[in-house]
Amino acid sequence: MNLTRRNFLKAASIAAASVPLSKVAAKAESGVVKAPLVAPGTFKNTQTAVGGVCEMCFWRCQLVGKIRDGRLIKLEGNPKSIDNGVSLCARGNAGVKLLYDPDRLKYPLKNVGKRGAPKWQRISWEEALDTCGSKLKAIVDQHGAKGIAMFPHGSTATYPMGFLENTVGTHNVSEASFFQCRGIRDTAYIATIGLPPNEDVDMANAKVMFFLGNHLGENVHVSHLKRYLKGLENGAKLVVVDPRYSAAAAKSHIWVQIRPGTDTAFLLAIMNYLIQNKKYNAEFVQKHGEGFDKMAEGIKGWTLEKAAQECDVPAAQIKEVAELLAANMPNVSIHPGRHVSWYGNDFQRQRALACLTGLLGAFGVKGGFVQPKGPKGLAKVGWPKGEHKEESLREMADVHHYSPPGTPTDLIRDTAITGKPYPIKGCVIWGQNPIQTIPNQEKTIKMLEQMDFVMCVDVMPTDITMYADILLPDTSYLERYDMIKTGTQWDFATEHKQYIAPRMPLVAPGFERKESIWITNEIAKRMGYGDKIPVQSQEEAINKMLAGAELSIDKIKAEDGIHIQPGKDPYGEMELTVLFHNQEVEDNGYPGIPTYIPVERAPEGYCRLLYGRSPVHTFNRSQNNAWLMAENDDSPVWINDKLAAKLGLKEGDKIALVNQDGVKSRTTTKVKVTPGIRQDCVYMYHGFGSMNPELTIGVGKGIDDQSLITKLAVDPETGAHGMRNNFVKLVKVS
């Protein structure tokens, strides 16, 4: 950057000439109008399109779009929103770059190469739909509905999933949001309090917030973070249990640097301490608890000292946390977590979290677990359920009794690979990227290779679309109607309001992109289900749903995209029973009280591979977004500074990773040396290292963590994957 003499002279001479020349040049030019040198801003001379609902992630903030000359130039939070308000996160702001990404799918494509090494030929919709319809019908005719597997994700996949599951009748549907993410949380809470918890903790009004591995700040959901920050502002104490000094740990009052995999032991010791010292909410437990004595008896061995040893944290710190919770109960937010498919012992940990909430009586009270009272009345629209008597793979094997809806991924994948107990020969992938979502990519590819037919529907090319025979271009969330977001004002301490916000298009779809209802219906007709079609378009579906609440798209457009109505007080005693001991769980062959099941520790010379979220990315989905990649296009590996010194690694060193099975990362990344992580683990962002060269920005950036998760762990109660039981070595690359 230093100025050389020559450069300076150049600059000075230009300066001398600039004024007169500009006048001369302006006249001399050919009449081509140049873009103004200064951007005019998006707030003037633009149109505002209302009714957007974000899908850069799945929190669904409400948007408006600024449009100039028919082109969307900026997204902002809808000023009418009582959820995200005018705010958006980085990803929400960057939706424009997804909409106009030149790498987006534009036309129906046929793979005339091989699965995994595709050669694409543009075909007509007619040909694409005929192929999908006839191939899927042939599979159903030969193998039955169960011969089709589906991997859906997102609201665009809801309708086709209903078609395949309800009407065609296959059980073999696996949603990553359940089996590789939050399904365990939901079924464990249902088995404890009868309700899925979502993330319904009233952090804004809590005295203590308790996070287990929850990395808010790196995990960004706007209204959720508003609650969290409001809690901190109001003076709540924050406890963060994490092997790493996460974004949340950096704002915590107590950071528990726990040994990975031992969280349940930590929770049991806290509960045991509260019980032994009579510091739990006896009144609540008396009124709402069941099986308390059994749990108390069963966990009494979990002394502070025992847990301290297992979790590798000071006993005094566990006590400090327990005392803090006791002193502030019931106004404590025991966060249920979101991505919880960690170690294959996760159902028990999630049960323990629900039981701890019960011990503290933190239900329905300020700062506790509080369910928002959202609007009611929206009608349901969907495919009719046919007469399907066949058992699912899960029922046949009599396993995973607390599975989330659908079928556990490995039951589908193993069945497809072995052909036992039956063949699975058709694969429909809609919005999901199973290469990046499901551990052990080799098995996923084997499953795909044995299929008679694979179709993918997506907005962008991804690693999975490389395996499609037919690849169909979906509309993006900015170009379609497709779901209705409902909720309440984010802070329960303020005036109670409810909102209804259907996703409405801000711009018309480009190229030959089509909405999922149309695609599904056209395939359904060709498979012989034309008479079962419930609606003709997304717009019709939304209007039918809204009619249940005496609303319509037109009405909501007139209300600037969001209907707001008076709400209800969400506080007050909840009608629920906390099953500290669950007899049914025990009868099904699992521990009836929350139980710690140890996991393998890192072998000598290896570190446990932990992963999490980049604040500017949604897994792999945003990995070709020019603005987001400019902010973060790598997944540096966090390594403890002392360990790094031992291994001779320095900040910024280029490395590859090799796991315990000898699998080497396809790409390389850099080392981030920090004291803020334990020595027995390393950490990196999930979702990087795409292999599809059609992602011209994203391909090969950073390392794909999922490629290194080859050793499978399956949570026995739920059948969901545990993805933090793999170990890696760092290999310096020169």
Partner 1 sequence: MQYGMIIDIDRCVGCHACVIACKAEWEVPAQFNRNWVHRLGPSLTSTGMASTYYPGLCNHCKTPSCVPVCPAEPVSFTFKDAKSGKTVTMEVAATWKDPFNGTVQVDRERCIGCGACRDACPYNARYVDEGLKDDNSLGKVDKCTYCMPRVAEGLEPACVQTCLARARIFGDLDDPKSAVAQYVKKGAVGLTSKAVQIGPNGKYFGSKKGDMELLMQAAPQEMPKVSLRRSLLSKMSLTAKNQIKEIGLLGLAGGLLIKSLQDEEK
Instruction: Find where tokens 């393998």 sit.
Output: 600
One of 71, 86, 121, 587 touching partner 1 (CB under 8 A): 86
Structure tokens at 268: 């049991």
Contact 350, 195 (CB under 8 A): no
Q: Does 616 bind partner 1 (CB under 8 A)?
A: yes
Whether residue 436 contacts residue 463, with contact meaning beta carbons closer than 8 Å, is answered with: yes
Q: Which of 190, 507, 626, 658 binds partner 1 (CB under 8 A)?
A: 626
For the purposes of burial, counting CB atoms within 10 Å of the CB of 280, is it exposed (0-12), middle (13-18) or buried (19 or more)?
Answer: buried
First CA to last CA distance, the chain? 27
Binding piece for partner 1, criterion CB under 8 A, among 32-40, 108-116, 653-661, 699-707: 32-40
User: Closest approach of Cβ 219 to partner 1, in Å?
Assistant: 10
The C-alpha atoms of residue 594 and residue 580 are separated, in whole angstroms, by: 8
Question: Judged by CB under 8 A, does residue 645 bind partner 1?
Answer: no
Q: Which is nearer to partner 1, 42 or 577 (CB)?
A: 42
**CB of residue 447 to partner 1, shortest distance in Å:** 37
Q: Which is nearer to partner 1, 34 or 380 (CB)?
A: 34
Choose, by CB under 8 A, the member of 193, 236, 247, 295 that binds partner 1: 247
Cβ closer to partner 1: 53 or 524? 53
CA distances from 199 to 227, 246, 305 (A): 11, 19, 31
User: Which parts of 365-424 interact with partner 1 (CB under 8 A)?
Assistant: none
Site string for partner 1, 46-85 (x = CB under 8 A): ---------------------------xxxxx------x-
Q: Is 7 in the site for partner 1 (CB under 8 A)?
A: yes
Report the nearest approach of partner 1 to the CB of residue 327 (Å).
23
| Smallest gap from residue 249 Cβ to partner 1 (A) | 8
Q: How many whole angstroms separate alpha carbon 209 and alpha carbon 335? A: 7
What span, in angstroms and rounded, lies between the C-alpha atoms of 464 and 449?
Answer: 12
Q: Which of 51, 52, 92, 337 binds partner 1 (CB under 8 A)?
A: 92
Q: How far is the CB of 381 from partner 1 (least distance, A)?
A: 33
Q: Kindly state the smallest distance separating residue 32's Cβ from partner 1, in Å.
A: 12
- How many residues appear in the chain? 734
Q: Is position 12 an interface residue for partner 1 (rule: CB under 8 A)?
A: yes
Residues 46, 78, 81, 93: which binds partner 1 (CB under 8 A)?
A: 93
E strands within 94-205?
109-111, 120-122, 148-152
| Interface with partner 1 (CB under 8 A), residue from 358, 375, 615, 716 | 615
- Told to check if 494 binds partner 1 by CB under 8 A, we report no
Name the residue nearer to partner 1 (CB basis): 356 or 643.
643
Task: Supply the minimum distance, in Å, between the C-beta of residue 191 and partner 1.
Answer: 33
Q: Does position 89 bind partner 1 by CB under 8 A?
A: yes
Select the span of 36-44, 430-438, 500-508, 553-561 touching partner 1 (CB under 8 A). Answer: 36-44
Of 704, 147, 712, whose CA–CA distance to 409 is shortest? Answer: 712
Among 16, 327, 379, 645, which residue interacts with partner 1 (rule: CB under 8 A)?
A: 16
DSSP assignment, residue 369? B
Minimum CB–partner distance for residue 90 and partner 1 (Å):
4
Q: Which residues contact 433 (CB under 8 A, 6 or more apart)?
A: 153, 458, 462, 463, 464, 619, 620, 621
Phi and psi of 670, rounded to 5°? -110, 165
Contact with partner 1 (CB under 8 A): which of 33, 39, 566, 604?
39
Contacts (CB under 8 A) with partner 1, residues 694-723: none
| Contact characters 194-233, partner 1, x per CB under 8 A | ----------------------xxx-x-x--xx--x--xx
* C-alpha to C-alpha distances, 198 to 215, 231, 370, 399, 611, nearest whole angstrom: 16, 18, 10, 25, 22
Single out the segment in contact with partner 1 by CB under 8 A; choices: 12-20, 234-242, 279-287, 365-373. 12-20
Query: Closest Cα to residue 679, out of 310, 240, 243?
Result: 243
Residues numbered 226-245 forming contacts with partner 1, rule: CB under 8 A: 226, 229, 232-233, 245
> Binding residues for partner 1, how many (CB under 8 A)?
73
Nearer Cβ to partner 1 (67/599): 67
Residue from 50, 57, 63, 96 binding partner 1 (CB under 8 A):
96
Q: How far apart are CA 714 and CA 413, in angstroms?
A: 13
CA-based Rg of the chain, rounded to a whole angstrom?
27
- DSSP for 649-692 reads --TT-EEEEEETT-PBPSS-EEEEEESSB-TTEEEEESS--B--
CB-based contact 562:78 (threshold 8 Å): yes
Among positions 257-276, residues that touch partner 1 (CB under 8 A) are: none
* Per CB under 8 A, 10 contacts partner 1: yes
Rounded distance between C-alpha atoms, residue 37 and residue 681, angstroms: 50
Q: Are 66 and 100 in contact (CB under 8 A)?
A: no
What is the per-residue binding string for partner 1 in 573-612, x denoting contact by CB under 8 A? ----------------------------------------
Contact letters for partner 1, residues 668-697 (x by CB under 8 A): ------xxxx--------------------
Nearest-approach distance from CB 392 to partner 1, in angstroms: 40
User: What whole-number distance in Å separates Cα of residue 459 and Cα of residue 430?
Assistant: 10
* Residue 316 binds to partner 1 (criterion: CB under 8 A): no
Which of 11, 327, 379, 645 binds partner 1 (CB under 8 A)? It is 11
CA distances (Å), origin 509, targets 69, 97, 104, 121, 560: 15, 15, 12, 21, 21
Other C-beta atoms within 10 Å of 568: how many?
A: 15
